[in-house]
Amino acid sequence: MSVLLATHGLCKSFGALTVTDDVSLELRTGECHALIGPNGAGKTSFVNQLSGLLAPDSGRIEFLGQDITNSSPAARANAGLARTFQITSIIPTMTLFENVALAAQARCGSSYRFFRPVHKDRQINALAGEALERIALTSRNDKLARTLSHGEKRALELAMAIAQKPRALLLDEPMAGIGSDESGQLTDTLLMLKQDYPLLLIEHDMDAVFKVADRVSVLVYGRIIASGTPDEIRANREARTAYLGDET
C-alpha cells in the first residue's frame, strides 16, 4: 500500500493556543484512517490545513508525492483532494442537483467557457447523477438547497465531495445530523467508498468509526497520543480517559 497523503511535523497555533502540535500522519491507498479526539482538539483545523484553508506554521504536507504545503485550496482540489465540512457548506440558492453538478463541473475541463448553457452539459450531468446515486437522498433534485432539512444538507455535502471524483477524501463528521437509521446506510456507503479512494474520517460516532476505519489516530490538544487498529485504540487507556469514556 502506497502513501497518498502525508503530513510531516505539522504545527499550527492561534496565539497561545496550539491546535496542531507536530502532527505526522499518513493516508494510504485503500484505507480509511479515522481521526478522533475531544471537542476542540484540532481535528477540523488539521483538515483545514490539508485542504489549504489554513496555513500551517511549520511542517510539510505531501500529496501524491508532491509538496502541496503552499498550494492554493483550488490547486489541491484539482489535484484530487476533496473534503466535506463539519459546518454545512453548500450553495444555498442553487438546487440540490446544481450543487452536485458544480462539484462535477470542476472535473470536466475548463470552466472558462462563456457561451454554452451548463444545464445542457451531458458530461457534467452524468457525473452529478452518478454521485447522487451513491448517496441516498430522499429529496427531489430540483429542491433549493436552502430548503433541505438539516440531515439532507449533510448528505448533500457528501454527494458534492464524491462528484469531485477525488483521489482522496477528507470527511469532517459526515454522520453528524444524519438520522439514527440513515447512519447505518451511510456507514455502508463509506465502506464502499474507501475501495475507490482512501478516506480520512473525522467522526464522533464511534459505531461508525469502529466499523469503517482500518486505522484510528487519537488527537488530544493538537497532539496524536495514540494510533493503531480499532481494537488497539479501544483497549488504549489514554484514549479511553481522554475521549471514549465507557462507550463501546
Ligand X SMILES: Nc1ncnc2c1ncn2[C@@H]1O[C@H](COP(=O)(O)OP(=O)(O)OP(=O)(O)O)[C@@H](O)[C@H]1O
- Spatial separation of the C-alpha atoms in residues 106 and 163, rounded to whole Å: 9
Q: Which of 24, 40, 55, 232 binds another protein (CB under 8 A)?
A: 40
30 burial (CB, 10 Å; 0-12 / 13-18 / 19+) is middle
Contact between 52 and another protein per CB under 8 A: yes
Q: Are 199 and 193 in contact (CB under 8 A)?
A: yes
- Spatial separation of the C-alpha atoms in residues 220 and 35, rounded to whole Å: 10
Q: Least distance from C-beta 59 to another protein, angstroms?
A: 20
From 26-34, 62-70, 151-159, 230-238, give the range in contact with another protein by CB under 8 A: 151-159
| DSSP 8-class letter at 144 | B
- CA-to-CA separations, 201 to 111, 126, 210, in angstroms, rounded: 30, 27, 11
Which H or E element spans position 202?
A: strand 199-202
Using CB under 5 A as the binding rule, the residues of this chain from 184 to 213 that contact Mg ion are: none
Q: Of the two residues 7 and 84, which places its CB atom closer to another protein in the complex?
A: 84
Using CB under 8 A as the binding rule, the residues of this chain from 223 to 242 that contact another protein are: none
Using CB under 6 A as the binding rule, the residues of this chain from 116 to 175 that contact ligand X are: 139, 147-152
Contact between 197 and another protein per CB under 8 A: no
Q: Of the two residues 9 and 92, which places its CB atom closer to another protein in the complex?
A: 92
Binding mask 124-163 for Mg ion (x = CB under 5 A): --------------------------x-------------
Q: Give the number of other CB atoms < 10 A from CB of residue 48.
A: 22
Q: Which of 2, 39, 110, 195 binds ligand X (CB under 6 A)?
A: 39
What are phi and psi for residue 27, nearest 5 degrees? -125, 120
First to last CA, the chain: 30
Q: Which residues bind ligand X (CB under 6 A)?
A: 14, 17, 19, 37, 39-45, 86, 139, 147-152, 179
